[in-house]
Amino acid sequence: ADYVLGNNPKGLSYMVGFGSSYPTQPHHRGASIVSIKKDPTSITCQGGFDLWFNRIAPNPNVLDGAIVGGPDEQDGYTDSRSNYQQAEPATATVAPYVGLFASLA
């Protein structure tokens, strides 16, 4: 749990929104596109991909509590939406931590 929350060589929390340094570009389409409340302009499926998903900037919506895939074998992590191997928050990634973090609460 300490490693995931930032006690690692990069000092990066792999839980989005936790601590002062965490991934800002998780591979998540909903988080990578602006809210309709902020920009009501109609966006097509392809437009959302082209205009938002491929943008090199932090996601406009923070996925608080999501845990990304994590580092590679050398503790390297590239914070990029296109790096789905490391940046995708999946239920299979977070499942083991739900019980662990619940026991710490």
Give the pLDDT confidence score for residue 18 in this predicted structure.
95
Residue 74 domain boundaries: 2-104
Q: Which of 15, 27, 87, 89 is catalytic?
A: 27
Give pTM, 2 decimals: 0.85
Low-confidence ranges of the chain (pLDDT < 50): none
27 tagged catalytic: yes
Do 86 and 68 meet the contact criterion of CB atoms below 8 Å apart? Answer: yes
96 CB neighbour count, 10 Å cutoff: 11
Give the pLDDT confidence score for residue 97 in this predicted structure.
84
Distance CA 16, CA 23 (A): 6
Give the pLDDT confidence score for residue 55 in this predicted structure.
87
17 CB neighbour count, 10 Å cutoff: 13
3-state DSSP assignment of residue 67: strand
Distance CA 88, CA 26 (A): 6
Number of structural domains (the chain) is: 1
CA atoms within 13 A on the CB side of 38: 5
Give the pLDDT confidence score for residue 102 in this predicted structure.
86
